[in-house]
Structure 1
Amino acid sequence: MAKLEEGSPISFDNISPTCSKNSIASARAEDENGLAKRMKTETATAVATGNPNALLSINPIYTTEALKTAVSVLLKAWKDGTTPSAAVVQPALGFVFRKPFPHLVFPDFFHGPIDSVEEELLRQKFTPLSTDLLQLSQTKELSRDGVFEFADVTDTFRNEVRPWVATITNTELKEELDIRGAKYTYTDHLVCHDDRLTTRKIAYVYYLTDPSWSEEDGGTLDLFESSCVNDVVVPGAIEKSILPTRNSMVLFVVGDDSFHQVREVLSTRKARLSLTGWFHATTPSVPRTEFQPHAPFLHLELFEAGKDDMVNCFLARDEADAYSMARKKALKKDMTRYHGCTVRNLLKDSFYQSLTDELRAKEATLPWSETTNRNQDGCLKYIDINTPKWPKDMPVFGQLLRIMQTECFLNSINEITSTRISVMPLDKLNKFAALIGSKNFSSLTNGAGSGASAGDTPDERWVAEAARCRLEKFESGDYSLKTYEAAQVDEVIDLFYYMDCDLLEPDCGGAVVVMDINDPNDEWDPIISMDGESNGLMVVRRDRDHVFFTEYVNHRWARRNGGRPFYRLWISYSTEAGPINSQAAKNASRLSPSEDEDEDEDEDDEDEVSDDSDLVEPGDHDAALSSSDGEEDQ
């Protein structure tokens, strides 16, 4: 008996030498010819009775006992690690595949008036959805009793398809049925995930796409290979792509390794239309345990105080500079309302141009890393800046880091966020690290004497505590998922500085979206969404209850920008949490606004916020910020 090859799709050659592709094809052709005559008569009868959906049924080829047994035996053998009889599993050839995880593909799945199903589905209301995982349009749950116009189709799925799936997959399924219409148009997508949730057991997709759909249109169902990292199964590279062929049904078992995605749709005139959902097991699946190592805190050395000539008036602290103070008040007002604001045109034009030129020139030789777990972190390239040596290879970028580590810069951030970024003398940090072990600390300093005096002693060197200091590169198809790193500390201030993205319009993606993890409806209604702007600094205040993600960068960006990436510097500063003791107050005194200034700004903000007439919604956030920029342009 021929042994089935481990890890390869079933083929005619590795089962039985006495069975040929031609014999199978001939048998199928005979069945189809007989069915065609019968279906022609039955369809005419259905149209005459005014109920065209009533005859929707599974292709009889797939309901034969031989095929159902073959699929069942094959899936069970793979699960048990045994070798089935080649003769028994022969009818399953071409329909069942083992890698990258067990899945089934059945072309020409339903017999009946398929066009009527498509027409009825398109009459349903599709609601646009957008989260960190997806962008698509979806109907409401069609299996509800109130959806009478789709009752015949849902009855077929519940009463015919569900028992058939239970038989061939050797699974006890509940009567519960999920079925929704999904429509993907240009740039719509569903990023890598595994479908594990509650009692989901068998996922299915039934395609009603245009018959002319091709690979150039995108929208393929991509299946990922997987591997084990730190005892957790994580997705790897795409191993198989399934074209959304009209009237085909795809099924797969939801499990640890069922990583898949819907590739971005590239067609501007066709929609990827489908019915999709899950059949549910009687017992819930085991929740996934993600490995989330705690990144060591960085300690960024503070540099000399004072205004940097390469930065616009954002850093000015002279009260005579009325424009700068007014701008900070406007930013502080946005922070109060939305947990975030955008400082536009942060750097002087000449310095910003030198920065982008340097990034373009050095981009190909930089030591980029890639996210290792799409299911948890997303997909992008980055460099964690945890050593002072790396920026020396890029002097302009190194100067940008120095600017964001000056007392003057951090004071300005404290002013608009009403927080105190955590700082401490370097010698005390070294003593503390020696006591508890230095593995949780990383000091980003540039050698003795490089830091400016920030304490009471002229030679005393001070550092600010940061949870992240990272240079990121985004290309078409890149994104980041919700990050829960702030849950490890009480509060952080995230700084996102965008570079070389002049053509990044809001419809290209790449925005930073902030959400409340305690609000079950907030996934569809985030607190704020801030679009990336060249030379723009986003400031976000996060605590244990708030997370952020970066929107999927879609095909429009590649088309408008010629495939070139854009860059983002992300620094996440820790802040003083809870009651500030006397020593902490002394440490932070040089990195916080004066008491008089705070009182004046708080009084102004209270007056402004109390007036509900001028409040704007998060979607109008750019308009709220543009008032100060308009004055600057004038």
Structure 2
Amino acid sequence: MEKSRAKVTSEDIADGEVAGDKNDCYTTGSANGEPKCKVAKLSTEANIIADLTLNHSYTTPSFTQQLKAEWSSQEKQDFHDLATDVKVFRDPFQVCLLPDLLQNKITCRQLVDEMVQKVQWSRKQMDLYEFYQSADLSNMATCKLLTSFLQMLRRTVRPWLEALTGLKLDYVSASCSMYTCGDYLLVHDDLLKDRQIAFIYYLSPWENVEQWREDQGGCLELFNSDDHCFPVFPVKRKISPKNNQFAFFKVGSRSFHQVGEVTSFDYPRLTINGWFHGASNDDLISDIMRPFGKQEFTSPVNKLSININELLNEVYLKAQTKKSIQKRIEDNSEICLYEFLRREIFEQALEQLLHDDTLKWRLEGPANAHNYEVLELDTASKSISRLISLFSSTEIFALLRDYTDLDLAGPNAINPTYNLQIQRWSHGNYTVLGDGAICEENTLDLIYYLNASEGAAIVTYLSPETDEPLQKQRNEDSDFDDIDFDEEDDDSVLLTITPVDNALNIVYRCEGTTKFTKYVSRNTPLERGPVHVISCSYKE
């Protein structure tokens, strides 16, 4: 995984030596992946007793009744109470914002002090996210204030939410989250087992940083959904972090949201977040019924308009090279063929991809599975058409048979097929694991890069054995829906493909193997433009 990002930790808190003004929160640090934090002193007096009293405005019967009526209302217009600044957004789904949840803002500073001094942060890394998380607050006996905050949620907020929403809420799970520069959480709906209400409590008590600007990132980003309950681009609404603000929404089949990438190096995005649980969520049925799309495969093109010898590096057409490639794939199930195309063919194709305005691109969705651009192949011409013909031709099927001994050509080939995409990758693009990412039968994948850039369009393959614990963990009462891994020491990672120009990666992918393309951080340098990938899959 990419390690070159700002880190936050609790080891150096006391020294307070930070670059910039006295309000700077943290600096880059540790190479071992632990958070390295230098949090400015918040000038909280040690003898001040923490006050977890809720804002008096929210606990009055009249306000509770008013907000209950608004929550259950079928009105399409947003609600904004000018007296309290409470808001209920109804589009794309209903979210309530309670500013100044706690009566005493000093408590926010005390909570942050305890978070950075006592919380043991774990780095969470997967296809869906990168950030730091604490244990559940119920398991943090040494953090007295945070456990008291959990008790306040249970004893005061839970019954208040029950009265407001009409839902029976049995218990609360909560943890602390910290997003440093480059961290993110991609599109998901929170729908799992008995989750009923999701909540986020924001902590940003530093002077002049109580309300984040949108360009600092870390927004709660909400998505519309289509008729099949899939999230669609673009983001419909953004809610920036704001100190002492409590946001909550009903978890459902359309409650798609994400945490936008944090772009500020100056402060971390700190929250206490979790769920109010009740009976099994009725929307789970809708979730199960969602029809995930499958890759479409087609037969090879019988006639290639140009000689394959004029396109490929002649080294890869030699009999001895073919034998060596086959042996490597037999032993390792993968190989990378550098300088696969003749240099002039590669350069012509790259030039057209970067500068031909007649090429038409579409965004590949749904947002909870994919976010990258795909070339509409019927708009291709010249050099790009030539490559499309190459990778879809009977000639390439025959060459791949020589490389792999798979029945993709010849007398034993029954019905070989292929799928081809030309992809364009830039900042914010990704794919995530899901039903569509699981290979249902053995395939041969080709991944070829043009305009390669370090950190963009990195493909990770996970072993079939990962699927069982992945699904199991998604059905347990865990804070997030995916397993975590560090590709440097996790056995589930079979292979990581990094971009190299004019390199053809060949991967034999067994049934059940999953893969994803890592989120492209806004810290990734793309000065030469987007990375382009020719991605093909072949079946016997």
Tell me the TM-score normalized by structure 2. Answer: 0.77
1:312 aligns with 2:279: no
1:179 aligns with 2:174: yes
Distance across 1 between alignment mates of 2:528 and 2:256: 27
1:102 aligns with 2:69: no
1:111 aligns with 2:109: no
Paired residues for 1:362-373 under 5 Å = 362=356, 364-373=357-366
**Partner of residue 460 from structure 2, selected from 502, 513, 516:** 513
Q: CA shift at 1:186, angstroms?
A: 1.6
Distance across 1 between alignment mates of 2:533 and 2:138: 44
Q: State whether residues 457 and 531 of structure 2, in contact with CA within 8 Å, keep that contact through their aligned partners in structure 1.
A: no
Q: State whether residues 513 and 530 of structure 1, in contact with CA within 8 Å, keep that contact through their aligned partners in structure 2.
A: yes
Paired residues for 1:323-472 under 5 Å = 325-326=323-324, 329-335=327-333, 340-362=334-356, 364-375=357-368, 377-383=369-375, 385=377, 390=378, 393-405=380-392, 409-411=396-398, 413-414=400-401, 417=404, 419-421=406-408, 423=409, 465-472=416-423
Matched AA of 2:63: L
Matched AA of 1:190: L
Flag the 1:418–1:116 CA change in 2: closer, same or farther, 3 A.
farther
Other structure's SS at 2:340 match: coil
Q: What do you get for the CA RMSD once the two structures are aligned?
A: 3.4
Q: CA shift at 1:225, angstroms?
A: 2.6
Distance across 2 between alignment mates of 1:238 and 1:271: 23
Flag the 1:334–1:366 CA change in 2: closer, same or farther, 3 A.
same
Please list the CA deviations of residues 104-155 of structure 1 after superposition, one character each: whole Å capped at 9, or x if unmatched. 1111112342212112112322222222221212122222265554422222
Distance across 1 between alignment mates of 2:529 and 2:278: 46
1:139 aligns with 2:134: yes
Q: State whether residues 301 and 394 of structure 2, in contact with CA within 8 Å, keep that contact through their aligned partners in structure 1.
A: no
1:258 aligns with 2:255: yes
Paired residues for 1:12-51 under 5 Å = 47-48=46-47
Q: State whether residues 494 and 540 of structure 1, in contact with CA within 8 Å, keep that contact through their aligned partners in structure 2.
A: yes
Percent identity over the alignment is 22
Distance across 1 between alignment mates of 2:76 and 2:344: 68
Distance across 2 between alignment mates of 1:143 and 1:250: 21
Please list the CA deviations of residues 437-467 of structure 1 after superposition, one character each: whole Å capped at 9, or x if unmatched. xxxxxxxxxxxxxxxxx779xxxxx997335
Q: State whether residues 182 and 262 of structure 2, in contact with CA within 8 Å, keep that contact through their aligned partners in structure 1.
A: yes
Other structure's SS at 2:68 match: helix
Distance across 2 between alignment mates of 1:143 and 1:420: 57
Please list the CA deviations of residues 408-447 of structure 1 after superposition, one character each: whole Å capped at 9, or x if unmatched. 64455446555333x5xxxxxxxxxxxxxxxxxxxxxxxx
Give the gaps of 5 or more residues in structure 1: 1-43, 424-453, 457-461, 576-634
Structure 1, 267-276 or 526-535: larger mean CA deviation: 526-535
Please list the CA deviations of residues 316-357 of structure 1 after superposition, one character each: whole Å capped at 9, or x if unmatched. 3423x5xx754654454332xxxx443332223222111101
Distance across 1 between alignment mates of 2:226 and 2:135: 35
Flag the 1:570–1:82 CA change in 2: closer, same or farther, 3 A.
closer
Q: CA shift at 1:574, angstroms?
A: 0.9
Correspondence for 2:523: 556
Q: State whether residues 207 and 275 of structure 1, in contact with CA within 8 Å, keep that contact through their aligned partners in structure 2.
A: yes
Flag the 1:273–1:368 CA change in 2: closer, same or farther, 3 A.
same
Flag the 1:215–1:102 CA change in 2: closer, same or farther, 3 A.
same
Give the gaps of 5 or more residues in structure 2: 1-42, 471-482
Distance across 2 between alignment mates of 1:498 and 1:159: 56
Structure 1, 289-298 or 402-411: larger mean CA deviation: 402-411
Structure 1, 259-268 or 121-130: larger mean CA deviation: 121-130
Flag the 1:191–1:563 CA change in 2: closer, same or farther, 3 A.
farther
Distance across 1 between alignment mates of 2:235 and 2:438: 32
Distance across 2 between alignment mates of 1:350 and 1:464: 34
Other structure's SS at 2:298 match: strand
Q: CA shift at 1:162, angstroms?
A: 2.0
Other structure's SS at 1:518 match: helix
Distance across 1 between alignment mates of 2:399 and 2:154: 61
Distance across 1 between alignment mates of 2:423 and 2:93: 32
Q: State whether residues 136 and 188 of structure 1, in contact with CA within 8 Å, keep that contact through their aligned partners in structure 2.
A: yes
Flag the 1:92–1:180 CA change in 2: closer, same or farther, 3 A.
same
Q: State whether residues 358 and 394 of structure 1, in contact with CA within 8 Å, keep that contact through their aligned partners in structure 2.
A: no
Flag the 1:497–1:203 CA change in 2: closer, same or farther, 3 A.
same
Correspondence for 1:220: 219
Please list the CA deviations of residues 383-403 of structure 1 after superposition, one character each: whole Å capped at 9, or x if unmatched. 354xxxx37x52222332344
Flag the 1:365–1:95 CA change in 2: closer, same or farther, 3 A.
same
Correspondence for 1:595: none
**Partner of residue 532 from structure 1, selected from 494, 499, 519:** 499
Other structure's SS at 1:539 match: strand
Q: State whether residues 498 and 537 of structure 1, in contact with CA within 8 Å, keep that contact through their aligned partners in structure 2.
A: yes
Correspondence for 2:427: 476
Other structure's SS at 1:538 match: strand
Q: CA shift at 1:203, angstroms?
A: 0.7
1:279 aligns with 2:304: no
Flag the 1:488–1:532 CA change in 2: closer, same or farther, 3 A.
closer
Flag the 1:327–1:563 CA change in 2: closer, same or farther, 3 A.
closer
Distance across 2 between alignment mates of 1:120 and 1:482: 35
Other structure's SS at 1:186 match: coil
Flag the 1:151–1:46 CA change in 2: closer, same or farther, 3 A.
farther
Distance across 2 between alignment mates of 1:564 and 1:82: 41
1:499 aligns with 2:447: no
Please list the CA deviations of residues 256-295 of structure 1 after superposition, one character each: whole Å capped at 9, or x if unmatched. 2211111111112321111111111223333202223455
Matched AA of 1:399: R
Matched AA of 1:555: R
Distance across 2 between alignment mates of 1:368 and 1:226: 22
Q: State whether residues 440 and 512 of structure 2, in contact with CA within 8 Å, keep that contact through their aligned partners in structure 1.
A: no
Q: State whether residues 332 and 415 of structure 1, in contact with CA within 8 Å, keep that contact through their aligned partners in structure 2.
A: no
Q: State whether residues 306 and 407 of structure 1, in contact with CA within 8 Å, keep that contact through their aligned partners in structure 2.
A: no
Distance across 1 between alignment mates of 2:404 and 2:54: 61
Distance across 2 between alignment mates of 1:417 and 1:185: 44
Tell me the TM-score normalized by structure 1. Answer: 0.66
1:165 aligns with 2:165: no
Correspondence for 1:292: 292
How many residue pairs are counted as aligned between the two chains?
465
Matched AA of 1:161: V
Q: CA shift at 1:250, angstroms?
A: 0.9
Flag the 1:120–1:345 CA change in 2: closer, same or farther, 3 A.
farther
Rg (Cα) greater in structure: 1
Q: CA shift at 1:486, angstroms?
A: 7.3
Q: State whether residues 226 and 235 of structure 1, in contact with CA within 8 Å, keep that contact through their aligned partners in structure 2.
A: yes
Q: CA shift at 1:370, angstroms?
A: 1.9
Distance across 2 between alignment mates of 1:475 and 1:495: 20
Select the structure that is richer in helix.
Answer: 1
Distance across 2 between alignment mates of 1:108 and 1:563: 45
Correspondence for 2:477: none
Correspondence for 1:623: none
Q: State whether residues 194 and 260 of structure 1, in contact with CA within 8 Å, keep that contact through their aligned partners in structure 2.
A: yes
Distance across 2 between alignment mates of 1:571 and 1:82: 45
Q: State whether residues 486 and 492 of structure 1, in contact with CA within 8 Å, keep that contact through their aligned partners in structure 2.
A: no
Other structure's SS at 2:137 match: coil
